[in-house]
Structure 1
Amino acid sequence: MIIDNRGLEPPQPMMRTLKTLDKMEYGTSFSIINDRRPLFLYEELNDRGYQHDTEEQEDGSFKITITKSGE
């Protein structure tokens, strides 16, 4: 699953991402695409113990793959 957050103003991308995470099963992954690096989201993901990997895209956006780890 990929959630395209481009064109949204903060905090909408983070809110959409966290809402999706709340619905996901542990051990599953999904990706988001943001216009900018989601620095505040990284902090939240780290606090929750979720894995994430960021790839800068050719158009300057960022694709972040998040794995909901834990129990």
Structure 2
Amino acid sequence: MMIDNRGLEPPQPMMRTLKALDKLLTNEQLSIINDRRPMFLYEELDERGYVHETVALEDGSFKIIITKTGD
């Protein structure tokens, strides 16, 4: 699943992302694209036990690949 959060003002990107994460099954992935690094989201992902990787894109945005690990 992919969510493009570019052009949205905080906290919309984080709210959309967290809502989508609630629907993920174990070992499923969600990719999001944000205009900036989601620093507050990283903290939330770490607390919830998600694995995440960030890739800087050529247009200056960031793709974050989030994997739901075992519950």
For the aligned pair, the TM-score class normalised by the smaller chain equals: over 0.9
Identity of paired residues, percent? 72
Deviations 1:18-53 (A, max 9, x none): 000001111100100000000000000000110000
1:36 aligns with 2:61: no
Q: TM-score, normalised by structure 1?
A: 0.97
TM-score by length of 2: 0.97
Q: Which amino acid aligns with 1:64?
A: I
Matches within 5 A, 1:1-71: 1-71=1-71
**RMSD (Å), alpha carbons:** 0.6
Query: 4+ runs of 1 displaced by more than 4 Å?
Result: none
